[in-house]
Amino acid sequence: MSGKKIIAVVGATGAQGGGLVRAILNDPSSGFAVRALTRKVDSDKGKELAKLGAEVVAADLDDVESLKRAFAGAHGAFLLTNFWEHFSAEKEFAQAKNMAQAAKHAGVQHVIWSTLEDTRRWVPLSDNRMPTLKGRYKVEHFDAKGEADHLFTELGVPTTFLLTSFYWENLIFFGLGPKKGPDGKLALTYPMGDKKLPGIAVDDIGKSALAIFKKGKEFIGKTVGIAGEHLTGAQMAAALTKALGQEVRYNDVPPEVYRKFGFPGAEDLGNMFQFKRDFQEVFCGPRNPAIARGLNPSLQDFDTWLAQNKSRIPLT
């Protein structure tokens, strides 16, 4: 490891950070070494990362001192928050603040902050086309991330703002895959109308982040959006039909119906899909697959991802 620049990776045991850890460890000539941050260094995932060659260190996003220690001596840091663990946008904001302060304190030279749009820029709270959530947000798991961008800028932390896309792994792990209806037929239910949903394979987030760290200075202060492909619900259903060898229909429901599905986060996701549907240019524009492919020539499109992953999609 000696001589290599250290990249501290938040979320190393998870989807985005795990993708970056694999990208760095699979590219021994990158000049980077991985420092994997986790609250549970002794967990199976923590041990596995150590076995793969990462330095695994304890850190908690709620504890700024632990972050200062974990960032000490690091050249770069990949940063995220996980809304879905606590469903609190305020907590995400506080955690982003801790990370920005710790990165500043440690003198990290390049941060990649995995952010998303503060949708209130386009849909102010007074706009009734979608409900305001918890009195302060339109899309809770987006808004505080976007709101936190300025924390990095104001502290003078050299930052690239990374806009990721809907992970296609959501079809496997997040309950957003095709489901059997009462007629026994599979359907993909998103309130997207005929509009396009930018999607990406998680591993391609990691590979893109590695490319951004490699390019360094030219990306500092920039916002970079990445997607593997932009597809309508109907196009996703057609690709699934072909890959799975059984019919998958696209079930377009209005966002107001989706919001009432009742699972935790349904209102937030209903608003999110509606934002993506109604602000197509705002959302798709910055997530140009050609730019993502420029960073990461092995970027997968949906068909390629399906060929590798179709057997992992639960069809219930």
For residue 190, the Cα-to-chain-centroid distance in whole angstroms is: 19
Closest distance between ligand NAP and the C-beta of residue 56, in Å? 10
| Closest residue by Cα to residue 166 from 107, 218, 219, 231 | 231
CB of 46: closest distance to ligand NAP in angstroms? 7
Minimum separation from the CB atom of position 184 to ligand NAP (A): 28
Closest separation in Å from C-beta 152 to ligand NAP: 16
Nearest to 158 by CA among 233, 229, 215, 236: 215
Q: Toward ligand NAP, which CB reaches closer, 123 or 148?
A: 148
Strands 223-225 and 248-252: unpaired
Per-residue HEC secondary structure of 92-126 comes to HHHHHHHHHHHHHHHCCCEEEEEECCCHHHCCCCC
Rank residues 78 and 213 by Cβ distance to ligand NAP and give the closer one: 78
Least separation in angstroms between CB 307 and ligand NAP: 20
CA 72 distance to own-chain centroid = 25
Is there a contact between 281 and 196 (Cβ–Cβ < 8 Å)?
Answer: no
The residue number with the shortest CB distance to ligand NAP is 14
Long-range contacts for 82-91 (Cβ within 8 Å, ≥24 apart)? 82/11, 82/14, 83/140, 83/141, 83/144, 83/145, 84/141, 84/265, 87/140, 87/264, 87/265, 89/134, 89/136, 89/137, 89/140, 89/141, 89/143, 89/144, 90/144, 91/62
Provide, rounded to whole angstroms, the least separation between the CB of residue 142 and ligand NAP: 7
Query: For residues 140 and 252, which CB has a smaller minimum distance to ligand NAP in the complex?
Result: 140
> Please, which residue, 14 or 216, has the CB nearer to ligand NAP?
14
What is the contact surface with ligand NAP in residues (CB under 6 A)? 10-17, 38-40, 59-62, 80-85, 116, 141, 164, 166-167, 170, 174
Q: Which is nearer to ligand NAP, 39 or 185 (CB)?
A: 39
Residue nearer to ligand NAP on the CB measure, 71 or 83: 83
